[in-house]
Homo-oligomer: A and B are copies of this chain.
Amino acid sequence: MNVLIVHAHPEPQSFNTALQSTAVAELTRLGHTVQVSDLYAMRFNPVASAADFGERANPDYCVYALEQRHGVAQGTLAQDIQDELAKLLWCDLLILNFPLFWYSTPAILKGWIDRVLVSGTVYGGKRFYNLGGLKGKRALLSLTLGGQEAMFGPQGIHGPLEDLLKHLLQGTLAYTGMSVLPPFVGWHVPYLSDAARQDILAAWRTRLQSLDAQTPLVFPELSPDAL
């Protein structure tokens, strides 16, 4: 299958970056085709603005989602958005690989979401959740954080990590129609021994070998009559 890894870490030597390169190696070894969008290396522009549209539906007043629809219809989206959108539509599996910043992605990856998940292709009108434009694809978060696993979950001070990630798991990935696999989480990373980090990389390879056996998370569904 075709895999797009969107990677966003400011330090090329980071353990998070090792998760990305491990995924490239393991998925390639398994016979898959992999593309990587390394957003820091690309100096990706994360700021959604009127400059994203070569031609405007309304030159005097920018409603971003409406201009996205117009840009899709006319083929006038900015080139960097078109390039990323082509990769997204090409892939069967999207992996977002990032360090958790404030229970979300770093801003550079948030900007990839804002600019590339365009209305008109990815969603629009009543095309969302199981009727979304990316139906048939799978999505997977692979993330690292400083917190310990015991601080999350029913007994943890923060509550379940998946609740804090609902905006991404449900509100972004599932919203577009993708099947969302349970996140792969590297806990407590800055404080781990090298051996413990190697264990995480091994667990990551195992996850990537067994994608077809993993049950997607459950999210709201629209009736097909909604269209």
Contacts and interface: CB of A to CB of B under 8 A. Distances in A.
Nearest to A220: B157
A102 B167 contact: yes
B107 A167 contact: no
Contact of A10 (B64, B108, B165, B172): B64
B164 A164 contact: no
Q: How large is the interface on A (under 10, 10 to 19, 20 to 34, 35 or more residues)?
A: 35 or more
A220 B159 contact: yes
Contacts of A48: 10, 101, 106-108
Contacts of A117: 102
Contacts of A113: 101-102, 107
A11 B167 contact: no
A187 interface: no
A114 B107 contact: yes
Interface string A112-126: 011001000000000
B108 A107 contact: yes
Contacts of A110: 101-102, 104-107, 110-111
